[in-house]
Structure 1
Amino acid sequence: MLSAALLSAVKLVSALAVCAAVSTSPASRTQSEPPPSPKRRTVPRPVTSKATCVTTNDTLAGQPFGAELTAEELLQAGAKIVSRKLFANVHEKGQNDTILTLQHQGNQFEFYCMPEQRLLRRAVITNFRPGYGQRLRETLDASTRQSGGSCSKVQIRDTERTNNVSATFSEGKPAVARVEPYLD
């Protein structure tokens, strides 16, 4: 009889131990405690570049394509004439001049045409694959290096602020460049 009572007591103690263990288990705690708050994810910020880099350089602003581009060279390379606009020359009475607009491989050029010469008035470059586009890219890269790093926009001027080249960059490469030499 004593052994039966002892055996019952051992079973009772074992059952109480199991009940105590179950009541403090992690599964039972999560039911009574509020769920943990979600962790905030931090999104890495992109490396920012300078908004606009301005460089004063007579050579870069005055000759952004290296050698001066001519309308004849572009026409020989396959450029198409988009428009011709006649207007009176303000300096020479009775002389009519022309604004000649050319399109070459997605790039647009305007030339101021007088009887004795044709001068580049404006260029908008979006395709940097032709030779003149590659030379312009080199000019823009040189300007960026002079400014001390990456820029989202670049402006190159000469000391008199008459010749201007501006470009917008996308992923570190020029996307659009505008060349505006001085004309009177």
Structure 2
Amino acid sequence: MSTGPDFGDDRSTSRTQAGPPTTPKRRTVARAVTPRATCVTTNDTLAGQPFGAELTTDELLRAGAKVVSRRCLANVHEKGQTDTILTLQHQGNQFEFYCLPEQRLLRRAVITNFRPGYGQRLRQTLDASTRQNGGSCAKVQIRDTERANNVSATFTEGKPAVARVEPYLD
């Protein structure tokens, strides 16, 4: 009695046992968190001292800053007094100071290089503001309660790319 064709081997016994069937591995897709367009924070400390300690022209000049321009103008409060707008460039960053005979006040700063110490402190300020807003932001704006001091920044891939600091000046 024949049970089937003869192949010269017993196929039913010569098969190798395979392991359990494999299931395709799940791919985890990292989803990019879409940052909010603009986050606005009111914080007197962050807006008033974005670099931590106040930057001075002497510090910047000692660190290698170059004088880009000097512009004289009449003081609107003191008749006959001439003041100066001094612009400094340091490692790609630009600082503008309003210079009176007795003091020099930061008028504006544009930061694109966050490697110097003041840039790292500014980055910490921006990160603190982002945390206060609960997450990532494409742009950050920090103001004080009087809306006089302003810090604004644009972020690229979660890191500050450009920051503008504009303290209040009369």
* TM-score category of the 2 structures, normalised to the smaller one: 0.7 to 0.9
Cα separation, 1, equivalents of 2:124 and 2:31: 29
Measure, in 1, the Cα distance between the counterparts of 2:32 and 2:120: 28
SS in 1 for 2:34: coil
- State the distance in 2 between where 1:137 and 1:176 align: 10
User: Sequence identity, in percent?
Assistant: 87
> 1 CA distance for matches of 2:41 and 2:127?
12
Which amino acid letter does the alignment assign opposite residue 101 of structure 2?
A: P
Where do residues 86-165 of structure 1 align in structure 2 (5 Å cutoff)?
86-165=72-151
Offset at 1:48? 1.2
Higher helix share: 1
Question: Pairwise CA RMSD of aligned residues?
Answer: 1.1
Q: Letter of the aligned partner of 2:122 in structure 1?
A: L
Question: C-alpha separation between the residues in 1 aligned to 2:163 and 2:34?
Answer: 21
1:70 matched to 2:56: yes
- Which of these residues, 25, 33, 37, is aligned with residue 47 of structure 1? 33
Look up the equivalent residue of 1:126 and give its one-letter code. T
1:180 to 149, 166, 169: 166
Paired residues in the alignment total 141
1:178, distance to aligned residue in structure 2 (A): 0.1
The residue type paired with residue 177 of structure 1 is A
> TM-score of the superposition, structure 2-length normalised?
0.81
TM-score by length of 1: 0.75
What SS is found at the alignment partner of 2:68? strand
Deviation (angstroms), 1:157: 0.1
Which runs of structure 1 show a deviation greater than 2 angstroms over 4 or more consecutive aligned residues? 44-47
Counterpart for residue 60 of structure 1: 46
Runs of 5+ unmatched residues, structure 1: 1-43
Structure 1 or 2, whichever has the larger Rg, is 1
CA-CA distance at 1:47 after TM superposition:
2.9
Q: Could you tell me how far apart the structure 2 residues matched to 1:172 and 1:147 are?
A: 14
Per the alignment, residue 166 of structure 1 pairs with 152
